[in-house]
Chain A
Amino acid sequence: MKGLLSSKTVAALLLGLLAGTLVFGIALRPFIRGGTAAASPYQRPYPMPHQYWAKTDEFYVFASGGQQGGVYVYGIPSMKALSEVPIFNEDMAWGWTAEDPEIRQMLTNPWTGELITRGDTHHPSLSKTDGKYDGRWLFINDKMQARVGRVDLDTFRTGQVLWIPNTTGGVHGFNVGPDTRLAVQNFEHEQYPEEAIRKHLGLEIDPIQGPYVAGVAGIKIAENGTMSNAWQVWGPWQFDMARIGWGKSAGWLMTTAYNTERATDAVGMFKREQDYLFFWNLASIQKALAEKKYVTTQQAPDVPVIAWKDVEVYVTPVPLNPHGLDVSPTGKYLLTSGKATTLVVAVDFEKVTQAVQEKKFIGEEYGVRILDPNAVRAATMDLGMGPTHIEFDDKGYAYVGFFVDSDIKKVPLGEPYTKLHQKEPWKVSDVLPAHFSVGHLLVPGGDTAQPYGKYLISMNKLTKDTFLPHGPLETENHELFNIEENPALLVDQMPLGPETHYSQAIPVSLVSSKAKHAYTEAKALAAEKPRVEYDYARKEVRVTMSVVRSFFTPNPLTVPQGWKVKIRLVSGETAMDITHGFALDGYNVSVSLDPGEVREVEFVADKAGVHWYYCIWFCSELHMEMRGRMIIVPQGEWAPAKETRLAL
């Protein structure tokens, strides 16, 4: 072997290696380094490098769209709108239409069979593991129809819509628990429920005079994200906000009620001096289920309905018409604000458990014991007019939004956070002006065990003169503050469509690595060829149609007038962002087809004539030419000889 490594051989090998490195290195360099192509006469200076925004944004924001029916997605700190995810409303722009039977099924009321395309999203709640965001799913509720949707964060597409029984709608607070096994949905609008529930509660309810009843629905979330109705607890009161505790408050569900008066109009709803914050022992709900202390209804025979008196629940008085209800990162403090007051209360959960043990009650209502507020509060703060929601940062501060004052107050928390901020707790340390009328706030991770801090978004209900005028209805204003600066710095403002309630922000790294560029369904179906099947017995045409730049196959497609048309659209695309659409002239039919996706459309071909189907997304230089003919042959003129036949 020694002889093999002569100086000549080594020199020859080194020379060869050098030559190889030069040849292959130079040729391969643009691909290895991801560099740009050689200079071209078309190159122009560009104000910033390509991917500047993709590489500098730190968080995704998922903002509820309110009556838009889905969520908006944007990045911070760029404040660049990225996407809208339709959930409860049909939205042709993003390909969310009921011609697709899968989407139709999600939007159809399972008890009435009615297609409902109106929704009002309120509270997004990201999936969590150990109380921290994990980037799997976003859950969000629909106030109007009592539904909860799940958005899958690999596709940014709605994967499930769960309908909640026993209510006509009007839900509000929604929260996913620290391990994404349980979510809760509060009933805000009081109900006149089925007789089984009325009897079980044992309360006098007049359908016209009231007072009505309400409750909270428990939703089980399976390992794969599938939601199901698990239980409901009903009682005399409606509920507004909901938080499932963690850390110091683990095992408890907290809710607020702004109408403990049980009134039916606005004046009646703030007659009292104070309302209640509720503490529900989640184990006691499981115990009631195990002991079968529940009823079921005709509408939902598999959903147990428990009465409030059969579970362990306490209340404590809080300032009138509470709205915000938020839990500090360790689960110790619950901050709640009285909308109709200037007060924000901090309840120490450790004091709550102690007060329960020491029986520090000041009375009871409907059998629910009332905890002495002086025994459970850490602070009662007079901070300003119209306090709304609260978020927390990573440095021991709470941020409270004010609707009337149009600002945000920064307040240092008590122990154990004083060692972080070294300030006197519960005294305002900064005021952030907002434009105008703060509803919700968000700090990335600000409702979890791991706030990321750094930024705060104020979701302002009114914009007024902040942007160019655009008619009597002004858009909403999302304002970005840098809260690492002291005082906090207003960095940017973004007009965004109606109407955000709560939003959540999650680090880019938890989502972007999982985001798909293309679906793989179509690949699995690659062997499936386009085909057309005429079913004379059912008067139905079933089609498998391949969709790929710049062709629909089959084309043309002949259909007898009045027949049902079922088309399975199979995208043959694999490149990112090459989305196609299928819109049919003169029909209420338009769907989108992402790369590699399989979608279906179903409709009745009731209008005769030549109707073109065309791609609605500008997919290639020959996008306009990407179209085909659906020839709907008038009744009486059809003959089997007119069937579309495909060469196989």
Chain B
Amino acid sequence: MKTLKDCKKACKVKVIKLHASTDLKQRLISFGIMKESVIEVLEHSPAKSTIEVKVGKMRIALRAQEAQLIEVQKI
């Protein structure tokens, strides 16, 4: 399973499934991260603990742990 955590900088992917708990899933959805949405990885923080992604026109920061719960597919 490929997750958002494995994506390199400037890589574009499509979300296949969210494996998060209900609360976190709601949070991700409210940020526009849901099935079918397209995500672009923009930047990693030092030690890759946090990543910055772009969904639609919005830029979102999330921890590597959370990114690991987002199953993606390269497009």
Partners in one complex: no
Write the residues of chain A forming the contact surface with B, with a CB cutoff of 8 angstroms. none
